[in-house]
Chains A and B, each alone.
Chain A
């Protein structure tokens, strides 16, 4: 191949649902496993993934998600109105977590620890931290730094930026 191999990725996680957070985590971890430098910038509700009391309670978004199917991912389309039924999100979350466990995909907290241990950097967005009135003690110990957008771009020099 004549293209130069990818050396560095900066992944932005902006969604706070389980299905919004995992793609970024899997991509960051996968990058480290390939020897690619990786950092994750958690912003807006994506920040929940590194807040101690939220990170292991993220839910699958069932409202406004026309891709949801029953009884499994490739089953019949579920009428979107059912997404609002109480307990539906908890149920979809339970199902998805079970399937992920089978594939050895760790829960969010453990996954963040794995990525951090692998040398991946975990950053929190300053604007969101201020907006949500969060303190250092609210974050999981793997959170490396709170960054402004400017600092995020600075640290992303030479990286591919991936927004999720």
Chain B
């Protein structure tokens, strides 16, 4: 566990660097976390992914896997890898303020 200040908010992070308390999360925090993941600016396309994760998480209490992103979220695999290079779901989950995904697929 560690503590950092991003976008003026003091955040508690777990051992993976993911937010412990999502109530601390906001869009400015997301933008700062995105920079840490090598994404300079969050576009509308990124937000479509982050919004879907938020919606699905509220329903299922789990970060959606790739297939759910495709079939339910309507976000193709190729787009996810283009938007969040080098580990799409892991990165999107972290930026969105969610825990590290636990699914293998």
Give 1 or 0 for each of A98-126: 1 = CB within 8 Å of chain B CB. 00000111100010011001110000000
Checking B76, B86, B103 against A35 with a beta-carbon cut-off of 8 angstroms, the contacting residue is B86
Which residues of A74-98 are within 8 A (CB) of B?
none
Give the complex CA separation of A29 and B70 in angstroms: 14
Min distance, Cβ A29 to any Cβ of chain B, angstroms: 6
Min distance, Cβ B37 to any Cβ of chain A, angstroms: 11
Checking A32, A104, A110 against B65 with a beta-carbon cut-off of 8 angstroms, the contacting residue is A104
Give the complex CA separation of A105 and B65 in angstroms: 9
A33 touches B87 (CB 8 A): yes
A26 touches B104 (CB 8 A): yes
Give 1 or 0 for each of A21-38: 1 = CB within 8 Å of chain B CB. 000001001101111000
Give the complex CA separation of A117 and B87 in angstroms: 13
B89 touches A33 (CB 8 A): yes
Checking B67, B76, B81, B85 against A104 with a beta-carbon cut-off of 8 angstroms, the contacting residue is B67
Give the complex CA separation of A110 and B85 in angstroms: 21
Give the complex CA separation of A105 and B103 in angstroms: 10
Which residue of chain B has the shortest Cβ distance to A115 in the bound complex?
Answer: B77
Which residues of B49-78 are within 8 A (CB) of A?
65-68, 70, 76-78
B77 touches A117 (CB 8 A): yes
Which residue of chain B has the shortest Cβ distance to A22 in the bound complex?
Answer: B105
Min distance, Cβ B80 to any Cβ of chain A, angstroms: 8
Given A26-B104, A29-B105, A114–B89 Cβ distance below 8 Å?
Answer: no
Give the complex CA separation of A58 and B81 in angstroms: 29
Which residue of chain A has the shortest Cβ distance to B71 in the bound complex?
Answer: A104
Give the complex CA separation of A35 and B86 in angstroms: 4
**Which residues of chain B have C-beta atoms less than 8 A from A119's C-beta?**
81
A-B contact pairs, 11 of them (CB 8 A): A30-B104, A34-B90, A35-B86, A103-B105, A104-B103, A104-B105, A114-B67, A114-B70, A117-B78, A118-B77, A118-B81
Nearest 8 A-B pairs (CB), nearest first? A35-B86, A117-B77, A35-B87, A104-B67, A117-B78, A105-B105, A104-B65, A114-B77
15 other contacts beyond A26-B105, A35-B86, A113-B77, with CB at 8 A cut-off? A26-B104, A29-B66, A29-B105, A30-B104, A33-B88, A33-B89, A35-B85, A104-B67, A104-B68, A104-B103, A106-B105, A117-B76, A117-B78, A118-B66, A119-B81
